[in-house]
Amino acid sequence: MLLKDRVALITGGGRGIGRGVALRFAHEGAKLALVDIEQAHLDEAAAQLAREAPGTEHIIVRGDVSASADVQRFFDETVARFGRLDVLVNNAGIGNPPLPIITMPEEAWDRTLAVNLKSVFLCSKAAANQFIKQGGGGRIVSVASQAGKTGYPMLTPYCASKAGIILFTQAFAKEVAAHRINVNCVCPGTIDTPLLRGGIETASGGAVTFEQVAGTLLPTIPLGRVGYPADVAKLITFLASDEADYMTGQAINISGGQEMH
Ligand SMILES: NC(=O)c1ccc[n+]([C@@H]2O[C@H](COP(=O)([O-])OP(=O)(O)OC[C@H]3O[C@@H](n4cnc5c(N)ncnc54)[C@H](O)[C@@H]3O)[C@@H](O)[C@H]2O)c1
């Protein structure tokens, strides 16, 4: 087991990639704090954990990763329950309304940057302070995107937020390396989750299905298939484990080869 008795806080742990990470971490022996803004997502995740990884010690905490009071509360609840923290996975994120910048409402920009990037600042700060207080280091893994390396039209706020995570990761990794805190991020490609399915439906007004879009994308994915949360979870598990002791400040693609730089 790669994460035996490690305490991991996973934001956006209620569904999609975050839930996939929770299930994999559970199978690797971790104790979990799942944070999500949607109680229904948390309840479904807890039910799936009970079915597929019974006995996993976990708490679920409803909160908004972009609100500093919520962030303090879910870190406090995690430490109160488990006595420590070993791993933070900054996974919660949202898309932006698919619009060109020339008509993008200011609130859409602000909300995307707050949920996707400010959250990484708030949660990483809280986690690093806890790691330093405990001594012995810690792991932070954030979920950026291939959209943080290559620009996609109509997704400008999203791309900017994800590029921000990559440089946050590099700079913060250097700041906290002396405390043995490793900070890395992952850059998923096209992953089959409710976020992506919902985004396609919204952008096309329901006229186009996920399967149709996936079909047109397949020629751009050398490994010939879309990804699943379990694919991303494998990489995050590796980065959270002792296997990645000598890695920090990295932004690793997990995209079937769709993104290569
Ligand atoms: N699906 C993809 O193709 C893809 C590709 C690259 C990167 N990503 C990134 O992966 C991460 C997870 O995405 P997903 O596809 O699993 O999405 P998802 O919508 O399926 O799951 C995200 C979860 O985060 C929660 N969440 C949203 N806003 C929150 C907030 N303010 N506070 C707390 N929780 C909040 C949602 O309720 C949801 O349960 C995101 O950061 C996303 O940008 C996804």
Q: Are residues 208 and 133 in the same domain?
A: no
- CB of 189 closer than 8 Å to CB of 254: yes
Q: Are residues 85 and 208 in the same domain?
A: no
Atom of ligand 1 nearest to the CA of 15: 39
Whether ligand 1 lies within 6 angstroms of the CB of 92 is answered as: yes
Taking only the tens of pLDDT, the chain with its 261 residues reads 999 999 999 999 999 999 999 999 999 999 999 999 999 999 999 999 999 999 999 999 999 999 999 999 999 999 999 999 999 999 999 999 999 999 999 999 999 999 999 999 999 999 999 999 999 999 999 999 999 999 999 999 999 999 999 999 999 999 999 999 999 999 999 999 999 999 898 888 889 999 999 999 999 999 999 999 999 999 999 999 999 999 999 999 999 999 999
What pLDDT, on the 0 to 100 scale, is given for residue 202?
Answer: 87
Q: Are residues 120 and 242 in the same domain?
A: yes
Would you put residue 23 in left (φ > 0), alpha (ψ -120 to 50) or beta? alpha
Q: Which residues pair with 10 in a beta bridge?
A: 34, 89
Q: Are residues 88 and 196 in the same domain?
A: no
Residue 55 neighbours by CB distance under 10 Å: 8
Handedness of CA 90, 242, 31, 1 (dihedral sign): positive
Q: Which single residue is written with the structure tokens 């920090």?
A: 248
Is residue 258 in a domain?
Answer: no
130-151 in b/e burial notation, b at 16+ Cβ within 10 A?
bbeeeeeebbbbbbbbbbbbee
DSSP string, 99-129: --GGG--HHHHHHHHIIIIIHHHHHHHHHHH
Is residue 259 in a domain?
Answer: no
Is residue 89 in a domain?
Answer: yes
Distance CA 172, CA 224 (A): 35
- CB of 101 closer than 8 Å to CB of 20: no
Q: Which residues contact 108 (CB under 8 A, 6 or more apart)?
A: 96, 97, 99, 157
Q: Are residues 124 and 167 in the same domain?
A: yes
What pLDDT, on the 0 to 100 scale, is given for residue 164?
Answer: 99
Is residue 260 in a domain?
Answer: no
Q: Are residues 85 and 20 in the same domain?
A: yes
Q: How far is CA 205 from CA 98, 105, 154, 178, 198, in A?
A: 11, 19, 15, 50, 10
Q: Are residues 162 and 197 in the same domain?
A: no
Count the alpha carbons within 13 Å of 135 in the hemisphere toward its beta carbon.
0
Q: Are residues 18 and 62 in the same domain?
A: yes
What pLDDT, on the 0 to 100 scale, is given for residue 48?
Answer: 98
Range of 238's domain?
7-189+229-253
Q: Are residues 143 and 173 in the same domain?
A: yes
Tally of domains in the chain: 2
User: The domain spanning residue 172 has which CATH number?
Assistant: 3.40.50.720
- CB of 84 closer than 8 Å to CB of 136: no
In one-letter notation, the amino acid at residue 109 is W
Q: Are residues 72 and 156 in the same domain?
A: yes
What pLDDT, on the 0 to 100 scale, is given for residue 113?
Answer: 98
Whether ligand 1 lies within 6 angstroms of the CB of 19 is answered as: no
Whether ligand 1 lies within 6 angstroms of the CB of 143 is answered as: yes
Q: Are residues 241 and 208 in the same domain?
A: no
Atom of ligand 1 nearest to the CA of 195: 19
Residue having the nearest C-alpha atom to atom 43 of ligand 1:
93
Burial class (CB in 10 A: 0-12, 13-18, 19+), 109: middle
Is residue 55 in a domain?
Answer: yes
DSSP string, 63-107: --TT-HHHHHHHHHHHHHHHS---EEEE-------S--GGG--HH
Whether ligand 1 lies within 6 angstroms of the CB of 15 is answered as: yes
